[in-house]
Structure 1
Amino acid sequence: MIKDFLFELGTEELPPKALLKLSQALESEIRKGIEAVLGQGAAELLKPAVFRSFAAPRRLALLVEQLCTEVPASEFFVQGPPARIAFDASGAPSKALEGFARKCGTSVDQLVEMDGKMCFRQASAATPLTDALPNIIAQALDKLPIPKRMRWGASRTEFVRPVKWAVLLFGDEVLDCNIIGLQAGRKTRGHRFHYNHEIELIAPADYEKVLHEQGYVVADFAKRRELIRTQLLHEGDKIGGQVVIDPDLLDEVTALNEWPVALTGRFEERFLTVPSQALISSMADNQKYFHLLDGAGQLMPYFITVANIQSKEPQQIIDGNEKVIRPRLADAAFFFETDKKTTLESRCDKLASIVFQKDLGSLHAKSERVAHLAGYIASRIGGSPAWAQRAAQLSKCDLVTEMVLEFPELQGLMGYHYALNDGEPQEVALAQNEQYMPRFAGDQLPETLTGAAVAIADRLDTLTGLFGINQPPTGSKDPFALRRATVGVLRIMVEKELDLDLGELLKVAADGHASLPARDGLEERVLDFMLDRLRAWYEDRDIAVETYLAVHALRPTRPLDFDRRVRAVAYFRTLPEADALAAGNKRVSNILSKQDSHNDAVVTESLLQEAAEKDLFSRVQAMQIELQPVFERGDYQTALEQLAGLHAVVDRFFEEVMVNADDESVRNNRLALLSQLRGLFLGVADISLIGS
């Protein structure tokens, strides 16, 4: 038998940025709880069930259509002692058997033998699922991702916000239980303004429709989000603008409204002289407004707000929002004009009073270190060392401007505008913003060489400094986002094809710090950390971990070179000869690992006896000459393609030649030949690690 099940928890307004996550977690935890109660047959029993989450500012709900009504009867056997020692020669039960029977709450004569063991057959009768649902819900609510729970009134009950009502229906019946201090019932509530009354629910299936038609609540989060998106696009079309719909802002606005109505307002065109991102941040972060662009991609003097009410006089709402946004934009304009009166350079001294990290000095000291390293990097990549040093010296100055103090998210971007205002070179100005790129996974990279140099230098200075004071990231803590910083450095070097040596740069960065307590071996520790981050990066790009490990075994210190090797090995693995050559390399590696080093051994041609080893020697000699220029230009894919041609001659060698010959000189000569063969492949990667 199946019935519909509905759970709704009514609350004060829930945190908008957490609403969707809470809803998803509630569904997941209740589903897991039901599956656990149903046991092994859960998948089959839940086949007809449909789980639907609902989330609005004042409610979290879950509707499960066609949920089974009972936990089926079950039977399983508890294993006891082996049957061969269960009874003595006279047939009397052993102490172990009697103890097992007592533990199971039964007698010895109720035990049965199965597969050589004495077992107790334990059966449970079918029980109504309603018996388990209240506990499942309570546990699900306890497991919700709520960083800080609150109490209200005199109650000791805790939740993310005060709870007001609870609905718990299974079919048309109310489950008699207490949820977070509330007696469960069948009454929900409508919109706070349009219909702030109780609504009695007769059946779970009525939930969404009744709330929409009677309560003025669009309970389905996804439907409400799509409704808002459609309204935004319609409002934009009305004024001939393109509304910019940021997904995070759209989710937040969806979480703030139960009955959304989009309305368009405008602001004075004089504010458009302020950098557009400052206006956008003020509108989006403070007021949750959506901005619009014209056909040329320029900001228009309009905004779209989403009201949580369908007003008979919408112009009053628009007027109110225009009055609210005007002083905020006026503040931004004032800050911008005030900041422009003082150059970035003149602000540098203020950085001396701002601590970057208590053991690593001030932001001023950091800027000087970064300037030195950025100039060094620029000289290695064909950039301007003077521009890189200048950009780095100014890079943190916008942090003490009025605009960035008000809108911290504009750091870098305002530095760009102020640098232009000060007459700095275009590339120096661009680097003020590019130093923070990439800000997140998949974000754009610096376009200029100056920006790339400063971005790399800033991150390497932080990495070496924190490792140098013994504060590397731990499994759970990474307060300075060193993992993200590392991926940023690697992405810039690889994707912009900057052939830089990390080991070399880390030494320059480490030497820039006045004193570091953990200076010994610092470069190696940071390098290991950075190369290890490549593993996850390649996994995200669907490159097998064995491919990464094959290259990592050689520990190349140039990320661009590392990447070329990885891509070459990934391609090599698609070749038909790859598996056999990997197996051959593994065999060679195993043989050489059991012998003294033969890395520098010379093959004596006169000691070659078998045709197969002579053939291999000839091919290896020729390949060493052919591949030298290929390796020098880093064309590892071509190198592996040519090495794949050794497949047949290597197989023949192992089939016809005994490496461990009785004659020591012959044996050593063959080991030297294998060492040279392996050395060819190690010019790219340790191919032995990609074998099965």
Structure 2
Amino acid sequence: MINQDFLVELGTEELPPTSLLTLASAFGDGIERGLQAAGLSYSSVQVHASPRRLAVVVKDLLVAQPDREFEKRGPATQAPTQAVEGFARSCGVSLDELTTQEVGKGQYYVYKGMEKGKPSTELLPAIVSDSLAALPIPKRMRWGASRTEFVRPVHWLVMLLGETVVPCTILGLTSGRKTQGHRFHYPHSIELLSPSDYTTKLLSPGMVIVDINDRREKIRAQVLAEAAKIDAQVVIDEDLLDEVSALNEWPVALMGRFEERFLQVPAEALISSMKANQKYFHLIDAHGKLLPYFITVSNIESKDPSQIISGNEKVIRPRLADAAFFFEQDRQTPLSDRTEKLKSIVFQHDLGTLYQKTERVQGLASNIAKQIGGNPEFASRAALLSKCDLMTNMVFEFTELQGLMGYHYALHDGEENEVALALNEQYMPRFAGDQLPTTKTGMALAIADRLDTITGLFAINQPPTGSKDPFALRRQSLGVLRIIIENNLDLDLEELVALSAANYPELAGSKDVVKRVIDFMLERFRAWYEEKSISVAVYLSVQAMRPTRPLDFDKRVQAVAQFSELPEAIDLAAANKRVANILAKLESPIASSKLDTTLLLEPAEIALADSVNELTQSLQPLFEQGNYTQAMLQLASLKDQINLFFDDVMVNSEDDAIRNNRLTLLSNLRKLFLGTADISLL
């Protein structure tokens, strides 16, 4: 078979920078799926993207589908001759060319033929068109008088298989071999003789780096080099780097500066303005302090770069001036004076205003602070001020600074340092892997705020669905679990959720809200442990016991995970399952755990009874201390005795007293394991 490289490039107006990587990846994936479905083999697929183009290069693509054998079954051999002749005509053959085949209990006429593969040039247009149609574009646009729709207007289409143009019309464009160079540096068409010309001819003379990964690393190197000129460190946010890479075809990094007076504004506000509005990288000194410099990435290589730098400095000055103005204006009104304004902001229609939420969180945060050894008064004060910075000009302009500006304004107002810190820490962790609150007040406020939201939404019967979670309750639940476990806080979810639910006595459905909230939160552990490579079976074995203290839940899981690696684990899990099945068949549960030693007859049951009695005494302190790992290690020593018991002892003795005594022994054995988890589920 013959293989040739294939190139498709769609030229467009500037594509959305935050979507470019997603669009390019989806374009490549769609073409791969189409090639595989068509039976066209290839060696690799390379995806390229720039602000004005999406491209895919397929290496060593088959120029035609392989011929394929096919089999078509017709009527039974007993069918009338007319029916058989009709089948033969439909296959385009004579009766002599049909064969017979036994299918089930009957004989049938069968036609076996060879289907010739189609040329790739016939298949590729539909593959490309289908891939473009399936791109994840939330809203498509039209332009001019055309009814064609795409994310941006399209201007050219290149489709080459080897040196041959693949003839087609897609999105109103006729395919060809001409692409376009850089909009400013080389605003001319470039003729491509084959796919191998693509990256090299666009680089020179086109002055376009089509590989987004190459552009990203070139920008990184340039930005680092600019920072080194003033012996500073540049903070390279990877998301910003991706976005800047999607904005430029020929990137050139340039350094500018702003007035030092702006450094009086919290650095985060300046950084947010530079990053969000201008896509600038900021610089810091060796101590992490913000410097009055920025690095911008231009899409042209200017003969006079000072003009570009000056222009960017003029643009950033009024934005930073706005931030400085907002900061100064906001500080003239203490945070505590803004609480009344919270009464006009609805948190959720059925759950009231932000002011009402603040009142609910106050009591809950104070209670939590007391339990974890914090200052209840600090927690109450922090809860009162927690949402006040939402009423400031700075947060209205830069919403991502909520909490952080609360911290700065609280310090300016003379609030306690821990109270101020808690205003920012209430939002931690903001995302998976983010840092956690460091102060007891911050921990209490972060937990209370999340629990109020989760409990309230469950109380009004608005839990997350499979596809919708508008209040991010799953993420908020994981945040609560992380704060409790990683800070070693001995808190009971059942108690805390009950306290939170008490704030909603008038809401329908609140009677069972505590159970539903806890079940929902404990279910979050499943994904938590999967990410840590702990099996679902281990999680389920602990969940079956429904411990409502997250710290205790985690200790049990760690113990069972370690136990499951022991050589005794398989036998003990099987034995526990056998015991559970035996006890489940009883008409009524075992009434007493008291064993009658005079009814122990077999050596195996006597030995097991002695061990169970001894472990019942020795394990109790371990369970109380939460030392489940040591408890499970001791229980592992029972493996041989349990196996011997089932080999030598008939549980269902004809003597009722003996049978009930043996069932009591098994019940006591089962309770020992259930002190940690239901390992019968392993």
TM-based fold match above 0.5: yes
CA distance in 1: counterparts of 2:563 and 2:157, whole angstroms: 61
Distance 1:643 1:148, change over 3 A: same
SS of match in other structure, 2:522: helix
Following superposition, the deviation at residue 600 of structure 1 comes to 3.4
Do 1:564 and 1:634's aligned partners in 2 also have CA atoms closer than 8 Å?
Answer: yes
CA distance in 2: counterparts of 1:623 and 1:246, whole angstroms: 56
What TM-score does the superposition give when structure 2 sets the normalisation length? 0.96
Q: Which residue of 2 aligns with 1:54?
A: 48
User: After superposition, where does 1:355-394 map in structure 2 within 5 Å?
Assistant: 355-394=346-385
Distance 1:106 1:577, change over 3 A: farther
Cα deviation 1:102-141 (Å, max 9, x = unaligned): 9989898725315647455353112211110000000000
Cα deviation 1:123-163 (Å, max 9, x = unaligned): 31122111100000000001111011111111111100000
SS of match in other structure, 1:382: coil
SS of match in other structure, 1:256: coil
| AA partner of residue 18 (structure 1) | S
Q: Which residue of 2 aligns with 1:636?
A: 628
CA distance in 2: counterparts of 1:205 and 1:449, whole angstroms: 62
Cα deviation 1:261-302 (Å, max 9, x = unaligned): 000000111111111000000000000000011011110110
User: After superposition, where does 1:669-688 map in structure 2 within 5 Å?
Assistant: 669-688=661-680
Q: Does 1:593 align with 2:587?
A: no
User: For 2:449, which of 430, 452, 458 is the aligned residue?
Assistant: 458
Following superposition, the deviation at residue 545 of structure 1 comes to 0.3
User: For 2:573, which of 567, 570, 582 is the aligned residue?
Assistant: 582
Following superposition, the deviation at residue 338 of structure 1 comes to 1.1
User: For 1:76, which of 70, 76, 84 is the aligned residue?
Assistant: 70
User: For 2:510, which of 504, 515, 519 is the aligned residue?
Assistant: 519
CA distance in 2: counterparts of 1:166 and 1:197, whole angstroms: 15
Q: Does 1:207 align with 2:198?
A: yes
Q: Which residue of 2 aligns with 1:497?
A: 488
Distance 1:77 1:300, change over 3 A: same
Do 1:3 and 1:68's aligned partners in 2 also have CA atoms closer than 8 Å?
Answer: yes
User: After superposition, where does 1:27-176 map in structure 2 within 5 Å?
Assistant: 27-38=28-39, 45-46=41-42, 49-77=43-71, 86=76, 91-92=78-79, 110-113=98-101, 116=104, 118=108, 119-121=110-112, 123-176=114-167
CA distance in 2: counterparts of 1:96 and 1:535, whole angstroms: 61
CA distance in 1: counterparts of 2:86 and 2:367, whole angstroms: 77
Do 2:121 and 2:167's aligned partners in 1 also have CA atoms closer than 8 Å?
Answer: no
Q: Which residue of 2 aligns with 1:649?
A: 641
CA distance in 2: counterparts of 1:236 and 1:356, whole angstroms: 44
User: For 2:387, which of 376, 384, 396 is the aligned residue?
Assistant: 396
Following superposition, the deviation at residue 513 of structure 1 comes to 2.5
Runs of 5+ unmatched residues, structure 2: none
Do 2:410 and 2:420's aligned partners in 1 also have CA atoms closer than 8 Å?
Answer: yes
Following superposition, the deviation at residue 517 of structure 1 comes to 1.7
| AA partner of residue 685 (structure 1) | A
Distance 1:128 1:504, change over 3 A: same
Distance 1:355 1:97, change over 3 A: farther
CA distance in 1: counterparts of 2:549 and 2:655, whole angstroms: 43
CA distance in 2: counterparts of 1:300 and 1:615, whole angstroms: 75
Following superposition, the deviation at residue 626 of structure 1 comes to 0.2
CA distance in 2: counterparts of 1:346 and 1:648, whole angstroms: 71
Distance 1:180 1:670, change over 3 A: same
Instruction: Work out the number of aligned pairs and report it.
Output: 676
User: For 1:218, which of 209, 215, 234 is the aligned residue?
Assistant: 209
Q: Which residue of 2 aligns with 1:610?
A: 602
| AA partner of residue 336 (structure 2) | E
Q: Which residue of 1 aligns with 2:23?
A: 22
SS of match in other structure, 1:456: helix
Distance 1:438 1:113, change over 3 A: same
Cα deviation 1:209-264 (Å, max 9, x = unaligned): 00011111000000000000000000011111100000000000000000000000
Q: Which residue of 1 aligns with 2:11?
A: 10
Q: Which residue of 1 aligns with 2:344?
A: 353
Q: Does 1:420 align with 2:411?
A: yes
- RMSD value, Cα: 1.9
CA distance in 2: counterparts of 1:108 and 1:469, whole angstroms: 73
Runs of 5+ unmatched residues, structure 1: none
Q: Does 1:567 align with 2:558?
A: yes
Cα deviation 1:627-671 (Å, max 9, x = unaligned): 000000000000000000111111110110011111111111101
Most deviating of 259-268 and 120-129 = 120-129
SS of match in other structure, 1:245: coil
Distance 1:99 1:671, change over 3 A: farther
Do 1:465 and 1:516's aligned partners in 2 also have CA atoms closer than 8 Å?
Answer: no
| AA partner of residue 199 (structure 1) | I
User: For 1:664, which of 635, 656, 666 is the aligned residue?
Assistant: 656
CA distance in 1: counterparts of 2:434 and 2:261, whole angstroms: 32
Following superposition, the deviation at residue 515 of structure 1 comes to 2.2
Q: Which residue of 2 aligns with 1:185?
A: 176
Following superposition, the deviation at residue 524 of structure 1 comes to 0.6
CA distance in 2: counterparts of 1:345 and 1:104, whole angstroms: 86
Q: Which residue of 2 aligns with 1:432?
A: 423
Following superposition, the deviation at residue 576 of structure 1 comes to 1.1
Do 2:69 and 2:112's aligned partners in 1 also have CA atoms closer than 8 Å?
Answer: yes
Distance 1:449 1:203, change over 3 A: same
Most deviating of 92-101 and 160-169 = 92-101
CA distance in 2: counterparts of 1:80 and 1:344, whole angstroms: 84
Do 1:493 and 1:500's aligned partners in 2 also have CA atoms closer than 8 Å?
Answer: yes
| Sequence identity (%) | 60
CA distance in 2: counterparts of 1:376 and 1:567, whole angstroms: 29
CA distance in 1: counterparts of 2:650 and 2:175, whole angstroms: 82
CA distance in 1: counterparts of 2:72 and 2:115, whole angstroms: 13
Following superposition, the deviation at residue 380 of structure 1 comes to 1.0
Following superposition, the deviation at residue 315 of structure 1 comes to 0.2
Do 1:569 and 1:637's aligned partners in 2 also have CA atoms closer than 8 Å?
Answer: yes
What TM-score does the superposition give when structure 1 sets the normalisation length? 0.95
CA distance in 1: counterparts of 2:583 and 2:322, whole angstroms: 73
Distance 1:657 1:33, change over 3 A: same
SS of match in other structure, 2:18: coil
